[in-house]
A = this chain, B = another copy of it.
Amino acid sequence: MPTITGVTVTDVRFPTSLELDGSDAMNPDCDYSAAYVVLETDGTAGDGAPLAGYGLTFTIGRGTDIVVEAATQQAALLVGRDTDAIARDMGGLYRDLTADSQLRWLGPEKGVVHLSLAAVMNAAWDLVARQAGKPLWRLLADLTPEQLVDVADLRYLSDVLTREDAVALLREREGGKAERLAELERRGYPVYTTSAGWLGYDDAKLRRLCQEAVDEGYSHVKLKVGANVDDDRRRLAIAREVIGPDRKLMIDANQVWDVPQAIEWVRALSDFDLHWIEEPTSPDDILGHAAIREALAPIGVATGEHCHNRVMFKQLIQAGSLDFLQLDTGRLASINEIVAVLLLAAHTGVKVCPHAGGVGLCEMVQHVSVLDYVAIGADLDGRVTEYVEHLHEHFTDPVEVRDDGEGPGYVVPSRPGYSTEMFPESVATYTFRDGAYWAGARAAAEDVAGAAS
């Protein structure tokens, strides 16, 4: 009967702005960051090491400290709890953490308090999977339909999906689980790459990275657009030339347009045979996405990385706003809310193509996509999950992408947990502001300032 004995929440920032990794039309300079939660216990894991849970939400620099403060307040409720009891009722833990009406006022279910809830609950999910000695996707796939629905937050969804609908769907999907898992173990979960197309890269680098994507077997390539339409046309021409006519080319505008402008701009790019336009406008604009989708078909609409909760996803589906649902494992409030969204999508036949990249999102998303195919959505047609090739070196159980002849795919995770543990040295080095990296950068900046004065 291990007990949670303590919590630490750390502001970890990687200086990615130096390389323009992650640059797009809305976010010109990101330091990819995480509010990183560690739940300590007095127990031991299966391998004899101390049992702990590691979780995070992804941020892009300033303000990570604000999320850390919120996560610290929420996580304090976990200290002293019995991990066996938590594991038996993760739905109950989630409800306890969301029941604080005073913190709820600051959302509700959105913004900082929802990001921080994700970090805390992600750590709790990692903990219970480690305690069970299973990768998280398997812990969840092994649950009965009723047990899986019990962890899902179905509140405010019953006009589209009732509890009975959800159980019936999961029961029906129990057939074929073993075959679908065997398929993923053979080929991996299909991925696409965004590594090529950041806005800050010059044409030569774009061309080289597109060629590398082709050489690595990718069938989808995505470019950031939206700063300048002529630049976009030039860059898309390069990408289409390099990847040829058969691979899929997607674009991502990161919310820079109003609705009429999105329609006009993407029409000006439509001769490049685009598979989807991602985040064409405000992530809150359900009806705007629906209008854009109707105007631009057959170009698909993809959105969701900033979609803040299941109620918004419900409506994006109801309004016919999207073709590709890009949920984010750091923005939705952990598996409890993600399973609800996967159920909504499966119930309505919407393609889930999760967002990833950033810090640790690929590590988490592989569990979500494997779970979706094995137990919930049970369909790979048109599904492809994002993969960005950076910062994995900081994780103890990093994603592995392999191509065994059917294109690159996430190798099905096999180690216990949610793959969200960072190396202690990485955390120590990049802790803001006093980790070795940031202390050194500050000292160097002061030296420069001193020399100049």
Contact = CB atoms under 8 A, between A and B. Distances in A.
A155 interface: yes
A285 interface: yes
A390 to B, nearest CB: 17
B284 A106 contact: no
A63 B103 contact: yes
**Residue with the highest number of chain B CB atoms closer than 10 Å, among A61, A65, A112:** A112
A115 interface: yes
Interface string A241-280: 0000000000000010011110000000000000000000
Contact of A287 (B62, B69, B319): B319
Given A70-B112, A111-B110, A114-B111, A159 B258 contact: yes
A170 B73 CA distance: 46
Interface size class of A (residues with CB under 8 A): 35 or more
Nearest to A13: B102
Interface stretch (A23-31, A174-182, A415-423): A23-31
Contact of A159 (B27, B105, B286, B288): B288
A312 interface: yes
A66 interface: yes
Interface in A122-166: 155-159
Contacts of A159: 258-260, 288, 291
A223 to B, nearest CB: 19
Interface string A72-92: 010000000000000000000
A73 B62 contact: yes
A interface secondary structure, majority: loop
A62 B156 CA distance: 25
A159 to B, nearest CB: 4
Given A66-B73, A100-B62, A111-B112, A288 B156 contact: yes
Nearest to A155: B258
A319 B321 CA distance: 14
B60 A101 contact: yes
Contact of A106 (B30, B31, B115): B115
A407 interface: no
Contacts of A283: 108
29 contacts: A26-B101, A26-B104, A59-B102, A59-B105, A60-B105, A61-B102, A62-B100, A62-B103, A63-B70, A63-B103, A63-B113, A69-B69, A70-B112, A106-B112, A107-B111, A110-B308, A111-B111, A112-B113, A156-B258, A156-B259, A156-B282, A156-B285, A158-B258, A159-B288, A282-B311, A285-B315, A286-B287, A286-B315, A287-B319
